[in-house]
C-alpha cells in the first residue's frame, strides 16, 4: 500500500512516497511496501516525506554520485525508520493529521529541494510536519524555539548538500 520510487531526484521530485487505500498497479519506477499494520503505514508515510527522513536519506547515500539515489528494498535497511513499539497510536494519528494537511498544501507543487529551501525561517506545513515528528521522537520535545533553530540549520545543510550533488552531476 505504500508506493516508493526506485529512484528519487530531490531536485525535481515532489514526494518521496504515497499511500494508496487499495492495491494499485505501479509502473516499474515504483515498488510497494505492504503487509504492515495501518497505523504503522500512517507513521511511515509521514516519516518518509519529512525533512528529517530526507537528511537521513542523504547521509545513507553519500557514496553515490549525482542527485539520484536508488531506493531499492535492499537499501531500506540503511535508512533511519521510527520503531512502532516506541510511539503510541494517539501520537501516530497526530503526525498523520499534520501530514494530511502538508500533503494538501501548495508546497506539494514544488520539488522537494525548493520545499525545504522555502521553509527556512518560515512557519509552513513542512515545518509543522517536521516539528510534529520531532515532538513524538522526543527531539527538543515541545520546545518550539529549539526545534525551529535545529530545523533551520538542517534545512540549510540540506540545501548545501543538494547544491553539492548538482555540481557532481556536471
Q: 10-residue block means of pLDDT along the chain (170 residues)? A: 77 78 72 83 90 82 53 60 82 94 92 91 94 92 93 92 76
- pLDDT at 15 (0 to 100): 76
Task: Give pLDDT, residue 146.
Answer: 96
Please state the separation of Cα 140 from the chain's center in Å: 19
Region of residue 76 (phi > 0: left; psi between -120 and 50: alpha; otherwise: beta)? alpha
| Cell digits of residue 61 | 547515500
Strand pairing partners for 19? 2
Please give the model's pTM, rounded to 2 decimal places.
Answer: 0.85
Q: Are the C-beta atoms of 102 and 49 separated by less than 8 Å? A: yes
> What is the pLDDT, as a whole number, of residue 11?
81
Contacts of 25 (CB under 8 A, 6+ apart): none
Which pLDDT belongs to residue 96? 94
The pLDDT, as a whole number, for residue 150 is 95
**Residue of 155, 160, 167 whose CA lies nearest to 54:** 155
Strand residues in the chain grouped as ranges (E):
2-5, 7-9, 18-19, 30-33, 68-70
Count CA atoms within 13 Å of residue 64 on its CB side: 17
The pLDDT score that the predictor gives to residue 62 is 56
Query: How far does Cα 75 stand from its chain's mean position?
Result: 16
| The predicted structure's pLDDT at residue 64 | 55
Are 126 and 154 within 8 A, CB to CB?
no
Q: Quick one: cell of 63? A: 557514496
User: What is the per-residue pLDDT for 71?
Assistant: 52
pLDDT the model gives residue 61: 64
Model pLDDT, residue 67: 47
**20: DSSP letter:** -
Amino acid at each position: 500500500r505504500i508506493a516508493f520510487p526506485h529512484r528519487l531526484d530531490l531536485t525535481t521530485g515532489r514526494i518521496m512516497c504515497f499511500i494508496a487505500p487499495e492495491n494499485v498497479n505501479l509502473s516499474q519506477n515504483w515498488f510497494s511496501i505492504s503487509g504492515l499494520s495501518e497505523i504503522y503505514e500512517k507513521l511511515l508515510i509521514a516519516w518518509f516525506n519529512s525533512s528529517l527522513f530526507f537528511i537521513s536519506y542523504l547521509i545513507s547515500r553519500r557514496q553515490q554520485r549525482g542527485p539520484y539515489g536508488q531506493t531499492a528494498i535492499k537499501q531500506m535497511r540503511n535508512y533511519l525508520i521510527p520503531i512502532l513499539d516506541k510511539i503510541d497510536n494517539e501520537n501516530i494519528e497526530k503526525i498523520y493529521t499534520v501530514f494530511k494537511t502538508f500533503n494538501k498544501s501548495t508546497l506539494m507543487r514544488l520539488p522537494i529541494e525548493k520545499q525545504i529551501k522555502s521553509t527556512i525561517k518560515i512557519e509552513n506545513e513542512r515545518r509543522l510536519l517536521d516539528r510534529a515528528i520531532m515532538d513524538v521522537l522526543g527531539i527538543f520535545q515541545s520546545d518550539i524555539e529549539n526545534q525551529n533553530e535545529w530545523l533551520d540549520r538542517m534545512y540549510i545543510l540540506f540545501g548545501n548538500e543538494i547544491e553539492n550533488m548538482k555540481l557532481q552531476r556536471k
